[in-house]
Amino acid sequence: MLEKYDQYKNEFDQLEKELSSPDVVSNPEKLKELSKRHAELKETVALFNELKKLKEDLEASREMMDKEDNTPMKEFFADEIMESERKMEEVSKKLQGKLVAKDPNDEKNVILEIRAGTGGDEAALFAGDLFRMYSRYAEKMGWRVSVLSSNVTGIEGIKEMIAKIEGDDAYRYLKFESGVHRVQRVPETESQGRIHTSAATVAVMPEAEEVDLTIAPQDIRVDVFRSSGPGGQSVNTTDSAVRITYLPTGMVVSCQDEKSQLKNRDKAMSILRSRLLAQKQEEEAKKRSDLRKSQIGTGDRSEKIRTYNYPQDRVTDHRINFSTHNLPEIMNGKLDDIISALQKTAEQKALENLE
């Protein structure tokens, strides 16, 4: 790793100069951006320097031990060598963590989409369970959940739910949740106690802002209509619901949860922008095979990623062969063990690509 030292040291030195320039000092946004990167590089360069010093100490101790004839002194230098090697391994691991490319979206809020899949009413009920699970996890993390668009069933199920989750590092913790979630259980409507298998699709996208993706006005068509509830009955007397069509691809987003047409339009634009950004990033990722190898699974939303088996009280994430029990607690938002295992695996894969 020491061969990368010059690259990081040069960037750090350049930032030191830029931060003292009048142009940067007078630009708050630029100053904030460069200061953040400077702080990251400062830690990285400090670890590089510590590793270099430990390597020099190790080489000096080996050289002294080779020259020494006195047995006690040889043992002393042998202990010094072991201690230096231990410290080098410790610092190397910390440095590796710093060198792994950070996902620029990690700090963003999340647009969460959940849709019922195969399984009829039971799939809709499961989709509702997943939304409650993520809502309770968000509550434990101190995040805020707001519904952007919903399509509920009359049996407390969800055909589709789109929500925004706002909070520190929301995307970093939830980004591996995209995919098909499968449930195996006896539905409440099942009179003979047979186990059914149903599914719901989850999509987690970083919330895109206008600076991330600009949508030209001529590329969208905005239609307004009256909101409707379950069964199609009108629940509003004004045309407050909004449907936005992205003309280049035909992508459609509808929002009707707010009584204000303006609020529904803003929500629909937020969803559209995030979908387009996620689509763009996925296309770029597919072009870079090295990045695809570092990811957990394929990233394809049609991929079955997890099974919730109620009879066996077990949740299994198929991408990392991870299983855990206490399913009721997990459905109540206790996702820490699963998310930690996914993050650890992703970091290990990224580190392997560095070597």
Domains of the chain, each with CATH number or no CATH:
2-99 (1.20.58), 110-349 (3.30.70.1660)
Query: What tokens does 123 get?
Result: 């799939």
The DSSP secondary-structure symbol of 97 reads H
User: What whole-number distance in Å separates Cα of residue 131 and Cα of residue 202?
Assistant: 9
The DSSP secondary-structure symbol of 2 reads G
Closest CA to 110 of 156, 69, 166, 67: 166
Closest CA to 235 of 152, 146, 163: 152
User: What whole-number distance in Å separates Cα of residue 318 and Cα of residue 303?
Assistant: 10
pTM of the predicted model as reported, rounded to 2 decimal places = 0.69
Q: Letter for the amino acid at 313?
A: D
User: What whole-number distance in Å separates Cα of residue 51 and Cα of residue 92?
Assistant: 7
User: What whole-number distance in Å separates Cα of residue 140 and Cα of residue 137?
Assistant: 5
CA 19 to chain CA centroid, Å, is 31
Element (H, E) at 68: none
pLDDT by residue for the chain (355 residues), tens only, comes to 677 788 888 988 999 999 989 988 888 888 888 898 898 889 889 999 999 999 999 999 898 888 887 888 888 888 999 999 999 989 888 887 777 767 778 889 999 999 999 888 899 999 999 999 999 999 999 999 999 888 888 777 899 999 999 999 999 999 999 999 999 999 876 767 789 999 999 999 999 877 677 888 899 999 988 766 554 444 444 678 899 999 999 999 988 878 888 888 988 998 998 889 888 877 766 665 544 444 455 444 567 999 999 999 999 999 999 999 999 999 999 999 999 999 989 888 877 766 5
Phi/psi for 204 (5° steps) reads -115, 120
Q: By the 8 A CB rule, do 112 and 202 touch?
A: yes
First to last CA, the chain: 8
Element (H, E) at 332: none
